[in-house]
């Protein structure tokens, strides 16, 4: 069963440029994962420090593979998460 999630990141104001510089490689590698259906990152029109990630994977194993991947661990866990004020993750089910 497909798994879809929405993630909200609020970046520390002084760290936004550095985080944005990391995203191109993260997006490319994530989209190349076997179980990834899509991976989109949006920036708030009202606050440049807020990013919304919209992700879909073929199943829960693909989500786990993504979270355990080298690029996720090295980029998200080690470099991005320490620079966030807020990190919220919600699994969603499409209604319409």
Domain holding 75, by residue range, is 3-92
Residue 3 has what pLDDT? 98
* Domain CATH for 78: 3.30.70.100
Q: What is the pTM of this model?
A: 0.95
**Maximum CA extent, the chain:** 39
Count of structural domains, the chain: 1
Beta bridge partners of 50: 10
pLDDT confidence band for 87 (50 / 70 / 90)? very high
Write the pLDDT tens digit of every residue in 5-56. 999 999 999 999 999 999 999 999 999 999 999 999 999 999 999 999 999 9
Question: What percentage of the chain reaches a pLDDT higher than 90?
Answer: 100
Round to whole Å and give the CA distance between 33 and 62: 8
């Amino acid at each position: 069963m497909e798994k879809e999630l929405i993630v909200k990141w609020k970046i520390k104001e002084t760290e936004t440029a550095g985080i944005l510089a990391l995203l191109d490689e993260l997006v490319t590698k994530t989209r190349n994962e076997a179980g990834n259906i899509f991976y989109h990152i949006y920036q708030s029109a009202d606050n440049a420090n807020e990013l919304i990630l919209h992700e879909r994977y073929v199943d829960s194993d693909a989500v786990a593979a993504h979270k355990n991947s080298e690029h996720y661990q090295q980029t998200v866990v080690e470099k991005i998460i320490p620079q966030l004020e807020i990190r919220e993750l919600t699994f969603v089910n499409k209604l319409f």
